[in-house]
């Protein structure tokens, strides 16, 4: 499928960012959050992108943004397109798409718990999912200090020493060499 032709059809309807073609059958485009739902419906109903492959997030801490990426697949044409939406980190909220793809509800629960992105009206989004009893900032946020959390939460014990990976592997693979 010609991804440029698909992009042109979408661009006639929605204010899209530039097309990023990863390969002939995989491309990404960014669009404003308010146009995501109509674009998702258009792709599903008119362009044959009926499978939600993935819904994921990236934390752009320095820019104060989250990037949501909805990866859709047109199985009959063996093509994937990713729609990216940028959200402010503070109070990050996105409309749920579980009514378009029921599997989105699971992704949305995970993103709520791991990044703190809210999807109001998504089934079970406010229930604990992976992190039962978690009481810190969401752990996939880049400002979450994993080392501090580990040091504060777990006692030191033998075998938990930090080693330089390169030196350690050389010692493991070549113990008789300097």
What is the CATH number that goes with domain 3-173?
3.30.460.80
CB atoms within 10 A of CB 128: 11
pLDDT recorded at residue 81: 98
| Out of 35-39, 61-65, 95-99, 171-175, least confident range | 171-175
Mean pLDDT across the chain: 93
In 3-state terms, what secondary structure has residue 115?
Answer: helix
Q: Would you say the pTM of this structure is higher than 0.75?
A: yes
Q: What is the DSSP letter of 93?
A: B
Contact yes or no for 110/130 (Cβ under 8 A): yes
Lowest mean pLDDT among 48-52, 161-165, 169-173: 161-165
Q: Which two tokens stand for residue 82?
A: 């990713």
Place of tokens 């400002």: 143
């Amino acid at each position: 499928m010609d991804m440029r032709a698909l992009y042109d059809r979408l661009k006639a309807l929605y204010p899209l960012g530039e097309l990023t073609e990863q390969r002939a059958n995989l491309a990404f485009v960014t669009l404003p959050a308010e146009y995501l739902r109509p674009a998702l419906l258009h792709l599903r109903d008119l362009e044959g992108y009926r499978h939600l492959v993935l819904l994921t997030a990236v934390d752009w801490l320095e820019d104060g943004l989250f990037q949501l990426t909805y990866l859709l697949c047109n199985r009959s044409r063996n093509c994937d397109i990713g729609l990216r939406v940028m959200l402010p980190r503070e109070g990050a909220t996105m409309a749920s798409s579980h009514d378009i793809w029921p599997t989105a509800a699971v992704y949305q629960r995970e993103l709520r718990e791991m990044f703190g992105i809210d999807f109001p009206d998504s089934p079970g989004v406010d229930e604990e999912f992976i992190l039962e009893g978690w009481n810190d900032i969401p752990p996939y946020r880049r400002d979450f200090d994993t080392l501090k959390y580990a040091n504060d939460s777990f006692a030191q014990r033998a075998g938990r020493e930090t080693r330089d990976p390169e030196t350690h592997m050389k010692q493991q693979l070549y113990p008789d060499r300097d």
